Structure 1
């Protein structure tokens, strides 16, 4: 199995292809191969596994995933400038890499993967949250998701109740997955350096959601509750119709509570009260 021994350093690749990170694509290239290796290893043992990557760019993380032994790597890259250099990476790793020139928000993962896969990605900042929400809805397709976000978004995913970062993303992620923060990455590690710190998060989808609730209803309840997070729930839930106090009582929640005080289990109870 070839492991990329013939590939030039990433900085040489960027110079050869005249790659400048495009702000409109949310690009920041990670060139430190020690760091990309560390990210890939967060996913666990990759030998023989199928992996999906979004936004490979010059292929630093791509190389790391293939070096860790992934049998099949499907990379989704919107930027046509990167396709030729990624073809070189594929050739040097026994063609275990397939590159698709697509928009990750538009693709059908079901058709692409064919079996349960890991997602490992340095996500473009401008589409990171919509991609996560899309994948949470398709979580049955994935064994794990090792994703890099800007720190502020990562903090929201793992946030506990009664904290400033706690909100809709925390509840949805923690209801459907085991979530854990892996490590932070300094802006200096990227080309060009972003203005913010990045954080790698690992999400492992649960076989069943943590508590019983209908996702559509849970999302509506959580959106209403956090839409006016400073208000008491008896007021913030009014847009949902009906008598909020009755629903709250049914769920065993004080009407004077505020959204950030409720844990995932209580939100699920509230969603069941709205069924």
Structure 2
């Protein structure tokens, strides 16, 4: 069965027709190479029967690739009215594409898109990390999240302890999901080319997810621990119990946050909740 009722126009023609010059204030950088877009869609795994959510579709290159998979439906969330017009023209060629003209930061995706659902997106650079943190709080709602970030952000998400890239987003991501770096994307693959390279990260939520109380406590714990990286943990965590908390968890108070593994942060979390009477 064909993906579209008629062949869609080339992406560059779409960009010209809808005046889709990339808007720096929206963090826009478009991917136009069909083979690369197909590889990105494939990196999301088997999407058969899945309701896929895409954020920031722009002219619709990745949207086309996602519709070429076995996805049950694709919901594209777009803020830029020019891109909404462009992607709406694509939606007229298929009944498997829905357009939501809204701010992705405000969209309650689980309420808008039925399960099973997955997110696949070339995220706007300026809100990529903020979106990830929001979606991690709802991780149980997704089968997977396959997301493109600036390379520096992707490296932080996947970073190992005791490395310069390891930080709060590393701990939260790896606590809640199995995380893998899928591929690097050179700057020249985008139009216009950004100043930095990008990378595709796949996050698969773990079967057992924390309670709301546990999630909020881990957010407080990691925010305090990494808030002042040069401080020893006994100082960084002073507001949460400092040395007493660390000693109760069996962790040397003189260590720094970047040396703790995700497992050790989980130990700290359990100790913190016990001390708070959770």
> What is the TM-score normalised by the length of structure 1?
0.95
CA distance in 1, matches of 2:235, 2:41: 45
1:130-183 Cα shifts (integer Å, max 9, x gaps): 110111111121100000000000000000000000000000000000000000
- 2:199 aligns to what SS in structure 1? strand
**Alignment match, 2:18:** 17
CA distance in 2, matches of 1:215, 1:85: 39
- 1:125 aligns to what SS in structure 2? coil
- Which residue of 247, 251, 258 corresponds with 1:260? 258
Q: Does 1:102 align with 2:99?
A: no
CA distance in 1, matches of 2:86, 2:259: 50
Matches within 5 A, 1:215-254: 215-240=215-240, 242=241, 244-254=242-252
CA distance in 1, matches of 2:259, 2:137: 25
Q: CA RMSD, aligned part only?
A: 1.5
Matches within 5 A, 1:160-179: 160-179=160-179
CA distance in 2, matches of 1:49, 1:233: 43
> What is the TM-score normalised by the length of structure 2?
0.94
Shift of 1:231: 1.6
**Alignment match, 2:276:** none
1:192-247 Cα shifts (integer Å, max 9, x gaps): 10000000000000111489x8121121111111111112111111133x4x2221
Q: Does 1:196 align with 2:196?
A: yes
CA distance in 1, matches of 2:193, 2:216: 38
CA distance in 2, matches of 1:208, 1:239: 29
Report if the CA contact (8 A) 1:51-1:73 is conserved: yes
Report if the CA contact (8 A) 2:159-2:165 is conserved: yes
Matches within 5 A, 1:48-63: 48-63=49-64
**Alignment match, 1:133:** 133
- 2:111 aligns to what SS in structure 1? helix
Aligned residues: 271
- 1:225 aligns to what SS in structure 2? helix
- 1:214 aligns to what SS in structure 2? helix
Shift of 1:261: 0.8
CA distance in 2, matches of 1:169, 1:57: 27
Report if the CA contact (8 A) 2:26-2:124 is conserved: yes
CA distance in 2, matches of 1:139, 1:116: 12
Shift of 1:86: 1.2
Shift of 1:184: 0.5
CA distance in 1, matches of 2:8, 2:71: 18
Shift of 1:85: 2.2
**Alignment match, 2:89:** 88
CA distance in 1, matches of 2:30, 2:87: 14
- 1:204 aligns to what SS in structure 2? strand
**Which blocks of at least 5 consecutive residues in structure 1 are unaligned?**
none
CA distance in 2, matches of 1:115, 1:105: 20
Report if the CA contact (8 A) 1:175-1:209 is conserved: no
- 1:65 aligns to what SS in structure 2? helix
Q: Does 1:37 align with 2:24?
A: no
CA distance in 2, matches of 1:265, 1:228: 21
CA distance in 1, matches of 2:252, 2:85: 59
Q: Does 1:159 align with 2:145?
A: no
